[in-house]
Structure 1
Amino acid sequence: MTDTAPDAVSRPETPARPGTSAPARAAMGPADDPGEVTDVLPGVPGPARPGDPPGPRAAPARPAADAEKPADAAPYGLPGKPFARGPFLWGLTAALGVLTAWGLAQALVSARGVIVLTVVAAFLAVGLNPVVEGLRRWGLGRRAAISIVFLGVIVMFGLFGLAIVPPVSQETSDFVSAVPGYVQDLLANPTIKRLDADYQILANVRDYITSGGLGATVAGGILGAGAVVLDAFFSGLTLLVLTLYFLGSLPSIREYLLRLVPASRRPRTAAIGDEILAGIGGYVAGNVLISVIAGALSWLFLTVAGAKYALALALVVAVTDLIPLVGATVGAVLVSAVGFLQSATLGIACAIFFVVYQQIENYVVYPRVMRRSVDVAPAVTVIAALFGGALLGAVGALLAIPVAAAVALILREVVLPRQARL
């Protein structure tokens, strides 16, 4: 009688699975047998196996790490739903937005003077940069070229002050010296005598002078004028310093601004930016050239006509000619008025000269000088100058034309081609 192994009798054979050979099934262990179902989840009993004792199977013990965990993972309870955005929350958010916008507007208004100085300094730096680049092409370094250009600007301001201040001081001194004579002439006038007899004008004037009211008014006027002069001096000094800084760091500022543009668009942006800078520089150089021509011709005419302080009046014409549209007219009116104060013949001659010269400047000089600098339609020029003057006065009118040229270039090179592809 042949002995039989107990396992062979007690353990039934697992039915063969398709694609599994008998040697492979024999090599499999109890845990590797694909036909055997094992417990997958800890703590959950699996199905009964053949040979297991009857009765419920006990769950295995929990690991020690699980036993140490707290029963409730959120000791303060689960978070609830977020609050609904009701009318109060919307109103509070809107009020905070309005207050923020109002604060930013107040900050801009308070810093308006600084913003204008910064913009004008950047504008002057861009306008002087072509001169610096021209000196560099002659073999000078950038620092030496900037020093020469800045020294020339300071000399120009100094000459302007030397030409304007002495005549104004002399005229003021002459007027103060002539006041007693004017008073005596007024007292000898029959009409003034009759009005003084009726209304006691001289007595009221004498009481006003002796009471100290005139002294307080004059002192207040002197202090106000001194404050205006000091403010203008420090503003001019700040403008020169800012212009020097912008002129020295213009290439680095350009490179930094280009880094803010995506890399795929930098070449095109750099080309458009260089074109805008070249246009602004050409406009500033052309405007200065036109003003120099106007001042030189005015000085020559006033000298030949025998006007007093011809150089100072010519500088007034040159400075006011920098303002687009109305600057030349303002300078002509001022100089003609001074000419009428000297003599009627000189005033009429000044009026005729400036009328003729402005026609030549508008139709001959200006188109030839500005032809290569800015490409803006005449109507756009007038509208831009009006808007700039309304926003920032003379400075806005001066900046409006190159800004309009830059906007026109962007529209022509970016917006219009994109609209044509749609």
Structure 2
Amino acid sequence: MPRWLPRAMVMALALVAAFQLGTWAFHQLTSLLINVLIAFFLALAIEPAVSWMAARGMRRGLATAAVFLGLLVASAGFVTLLGSMLAGQIVNMVEDFPKYLDSVISWINQTFHTDLSRLEVQDSLVHSDWLRRYVQNSATGVLDISAQVLGGLFQLLTLTLFAFYFAADGPRLRRALCSVLPPARQAEVLRAWEIAVDKTGGYLYSRGLMALISGASHYVLLQWLGVPYAPALAVWVGLVSQFIPTIGTYLAGALPMLIAFTVDPWYALWVLGFVVVYQQFENYMLQPKLTAKTVDIHPAVAFGSVIAGTALLGAVGALIAIPAVATLQAFLGAYVRRYDVHDEARVSGHRRRAPGPVLVRVRKALRLPNEETAGPDVIAPAEPLPGEQGGATRAEPGGEGPEDRDH
């Protein structure tokens, strides 16, 4: 046996063991790595606001805390508004349940000629085995939901902590990263970091501004129509329509349409028409002015990036997908060389086609008779003058023309 074979076998086994250990560790730390990635994008998003306050004399840690406090207040207000709306709807449904039950029982009695009463139906529902099993399963589900809520709160705390340190210690983090790179690489890393900050922060700020305008516009409409829970519905429309591209406006408009339908069916049509008109106004007038210098990507690319982000990271991936793609696009645009494109029909989209047989027949039918007989290169003879009529150019009855008489 060669002397190198045992050493090679040991090295191969060590590499396989290291690979298996690394794979196991990566799977165990996947949730932590995802939280770090989300926290990094959140820190990039609030970096402009933190830098703006730090440039005016505020400590960077205090500025970061102020930004997070504002985000916390806004999130709490949004949850409170939606919670009040849902609680109000649930209370109304519980109060109106006897009326709904009476109407259903009346319809069943008239249709199937039965003699049911509400008390009998309620008694059968209360003492049914199905309801007992449902209550038991719900009690078990409450424990699972409580565990999920606690896990979500811990994950949110971890994300907030990492994002706070990334934003507060941003200069120190960049300095530590650049200290292990040569000067040429340092410039590239700092440039990429600046592009990421501009695109991510610009995307969120522009979307936030458009969400504010959209929410205010829909609030005016809903308040004018007298639709209940107008503030909560306006906040819902503003946020969902801006952070879900392409179809977010129509998904967000479904809830106020449903609430408006309970008031008056015509109000639902008013809401639908306003949603469609506002979407066109936003796409062609408002959005190009606000996002021209921040995030300028094709709608199809934005929609595809959101789908990919949702498949990878869920709802949070859908939120950070567009700024990530915009950052990658800007970074490639800064380093990828572009060339002029020849002006051809396949590139410009304007392609001249030869006239078809139907068009040729129509042109022939519209031509004058003398144009058909004379041809394109023959000029038709001019009409004779009034004094030349009566044989100025033809022979007289005697057989002599004008030239013969001179002789």
User: What is the TM-score normalised by the length of structure 2?
Assistant: 0.70
Contact 1:118 1:239 in 2 (8 A): yes
1:294-373 equivalences under 5 Å are: 294-320=214-240, 321-373=242-294
- Residue number in structure 2 paired with 1:163: 81
Q: 1:406 is aligned with what amino acid?
A: T
**Relative to structure 1, is the Cα distance of residues 181 and 358 closer, same or farther in structure 2, using a 3 angstrom cutoff?**
same
Please say which structure displays the higher CA radius of gyration.
1
Q: CA 1:183/1:137 → structure 2, altered by over 3 Å: closer, same or farther?
A: same
| Change in 2 beyond 3 A, CA 1:192/1:205 | farther
State the distance in 2 between where 1:128 and 1:173 align. 39
What amino acid does structure 2 have at the position aligned with 1:365? L
8 Å Cα contact 2:48-2:197 kept in structure 1: no
Q: Of the candidates 75, 82, 89, which is equivalent to residue 4 of structure 2?
A: 82
Match of 2:72 among 142, 154, 158: 154
CA displacement 1:149-180 (0-9 Å, x = unmatched): 22222221222133222222222222223323
Q: Does the Cα contact within 8 Å between 2:295 and 2:323 map onto a contact in 1?
A: yes
Unaligned stretches of 5+ in structure 2? 339-407
Question: Per the alignment, do residues 90 and 234 of structure 1 end up closer, same or farther by CA in structure 2, a change over 3 Å counting?
Answer: closer
CA offsets 1:340-388 (integer angstroms, 9 cap, x no match): 2332122111111111111111222221111111343444334323322
Contact 2:245 / 2:302 at 8 angstroms: preserved in 1? no
Change (3 A) 1:159 1:337: same
Aligned to 1:281: 201
1:82, distance to aligned residue in structure 2 (A): 2.3
Query: When the two structures are superposed, what TM-score results if normalisation uses the length of structure 1?
Result: 0.68
Aligned residues: 334
Task: Give the distance between the partners of 1:303 and 1:242, measured in 2 at CA.
Answer: 41
Give the corresponding residue for 1:142: 60
> Secondary structure, in 3 states, of the residue corresponding to 1:212?
helix
1:90–1:232 distance in 2 versus 1, CA, 3 Å: closer
Give distance in 2, aligned partners of 1:342 and 1:191: 28
Alignment partner, residue 331 of structure 2? 410
Residues 329/259 of structure 1: CA separation in 2 closer, same or farther (3 Å cut): farther
Is 1:185 the equivalent of 2:185? no
The whole-number CA distance in structure 2 between the counterparts of 1:286 and 1:381 is: 15
Q: Decide whether the 8 Å contact of 1:136 with 1:142 is kept in 2.
A: yes
Structure 1 residues 117 and 337, CA gap change in structure 2 (3 angstroms)? farther
Aligned residues: CA RMSD: 3.5
Contact 1:118–1:242 under 8 Å retained in 2: yes
Deviation string for 1:310-359 (max 9, x for gaps)? 11111111221222333222211222222223321221111111111111
Question: 1:20 is matched with which residue?
Answer: none
Aligned to 1:64: none
Residues 33-82 of structure 1 show CA distances to partners (whole Å, capped at 9, x for unaligned) of: xxxxxxxxxxxxxxxxxxxxxxxxxxxxxxxxxxxxxxxxxxxxxx9732
Alpha-carbon displacement from aligned partner over 1:2-53 (angstroms, at most 9, x marks no partner): xxxxxxxxxxxxxxxxxxxxxxxxxxxxxxxxxxxxxxxxxxxxxxxxxxxx
Q: Is the 8 A contact 1:286 1:370 kept in 2?
A: yes
Question: Aligned partners of 1:240 and 1:269: how far apart in 2?
Answer: 25
**Residues 324, 397 of structure 1: 8 Å contact kept:** no
Q: Which amino acid aligns with 2:3?
A: K
1:116 aligns with 2:37: no
Q: Which protein is richer in helix relative to its size?
A: 2
Aligned to 1:17: none
Contact 2:206 2:290 in 1 (8 A): yes
Structure 1 position 271 matched with structure 2 position 191: yes
Query: Counterparts of 2:109 and 2:36 in 1: how far apart (Å)?
Result: 56
Residue correspondence of structure 1 range 188-267 to structure 2 within 5 A: 188-190=106-108, 194=112, 205=125, 207-209=127-129, 212-267=132-187
| Misfit runs of 4+, over 6 Å | 88-91, 195-198, 200-204
Given the alignment, which residue of 43, 50, 64 partners 1:125?
Answer: 43
2-structure distance, mates of 1:104, 1:197: 67
Alignment partner, residue 374 of structure 2:
none
Cα 1:168–1:223 shift into 2, 3 Å:
farther
Alignment partner of 1:189: what SS?
A: helix
Q: Percent identity over the alignment? A: 27
